[in-house]
Amino acid sequence: GNNAAISDGGCKSHWAEGLCDFLAPSQTSADQIDNQLKKVGFSVSDVDIVITSHSHLDHIGNIEMFPDAIHVIQKVELYQAWWPESFQRGGAHVQADYDDARDFRYFKMDGDYDLFGDGSVVILSTPGHTLGHQSVKVKLPETGTVILSQDAIWMEENLEGYVAGLNYSVLDWTDSVERLKMIRDVEKAPIWFGHSIKQYEGMGNQWHK
**Site for Zn ion, rule CB under 5 A:** 56, 151
Burial-class residue 117 by CB neighbours within 10 Å (0-12, 13-18, 19+): exposed
Least distance in angstroms from the C-beta of 89 to Zn ion: 14
Which run of H or of E encompasses 76? helix 75-82
Q: Say how many C-beta atoms besides its own lie within 10 A of residue 114's C-beta.
A: 12
Comparing CB distances to Zn ion, the nearer of 8 and 151 is: 151
Least distance in angstroms from the C-beta of 204 to Zn ion: 25
Least distance in angstroms from the C-beta of 53 to Zn ion: 8
Q: Are 146 and 190 in contact (CB under 8 A)?
A: yes
Nearest to 105 by CA among 62, 80, 132, 72: 72
Least distance in angstroms from the C-beta of 133 to Zn ion: 8
Comparing CB distances to Zn ion, the nearer of 67 and 91 is: 91
Distance of CA 184 to the CA centre of its chain: 18
Residue nearest to Zn ion (CB): 56
CA dihedral 127, 36, 155, 17 (to 10 degrees): -80
Comparing CB distances to Zn ion, the nearer of 140 and 171 is: 171
Comparing CB distances to Zn ion, the nearer of 115 and 130 is: 130
Comparing CB distances to Zn ion, the nearer of 133 and 184 is: 133
Least distance in angstroms from the C-beta of 39 to Zn ion: 25
